[in-house]
Chains A and B, each alone.
Chain A
Amino acid sequence: GAGVSQSPSNKVTEKGKDVELRCDPISGHTALYWYRQRLGQGLEFLIYFQGNSAPDKSGLPSDRFSAERTGESVSTLTIQRTQQEDSAVYLCASSVDYNNEQFFGPGTRLTVL
């Protein structure tokens, strides 16, 4: 079956613009995570969705970042008024539930000029 997909694979934007990143999890996976990986750094947790429960947004670095998920399907991560420090690879992962192996998407490489 299909794995986790993300789009776009690459995004170059100008400072101050808004961007929207999309994640399609594996069908049936109730848990969905967003992570950020800056160049040369480890993965940072951004946000967690579990079914219809309220998401854990504690990892979002500022109020310019927001994320939504429709039920147990697609999720979008939106960054408003992008800054150069937002440049990173944004990774999405899904799992059957929080207690199971996570499957990662290929990531979106965001470059803010």
Chain B
Amino acid sequence: KNEVEQSPQNLTAQEGEFITINCSYSVGISALHWLQQHPGGGIVSLFMLSSGKKKHGRLIATINIQEKHSSLHITASHPRDSAVYICAVRSRSGGSNYKLTFGKGTLLTVNP
């Protein structure tokens, strides 16, 4: 079982819809990252969070440390949001607390 599980694997939405992507993990973490990978491969860091909630424009990320769960929300989705969204966690264990473990990603397609 992968340490980081994302759902759904694929998501198709209509422009304007509210999107939620989920991430569950099984280890104690010091931080969780949400990344965006566009067709062509470029990866952009969206959020790094260790508690609570962060907002940037139409994107909101939340994390529940007790439940070992995070969500990425996109409000008023747009076709340019179409990308793969990747959840990654940084372990709390002392020896390798710099390593990220990645989920397999969620492919989001937003149709006009």
Contacts and interface: CB of A to CB of B under 8 A. Distances in A.
B36 to A, nearest CB: 10
B53 interface: no
Contacts, number: 54
B45 interface: yes
B102 A43 contact: yes
B75 to A, nearest CB: 22
Provide the main secondary structure of the chain A interface: strand
Given A42-B86, A56-B96, A98-B97, A104 B42 contact: yes
A94 to B, nearest CB: 11
Given A42-B103, A89-B41, A106-B41, A48 B98 contact: yes
Contact of A109 (B33, B41, B96, B101): B41
Interface string A29-71: 0010100010001111100101000001011000000000000
A50 B97 CA distance: 12
A26 to B, nearest CB: 12
Interface of B: 30-31, 33, 35, 41-45, 48, 86, 88, 90, 96-105
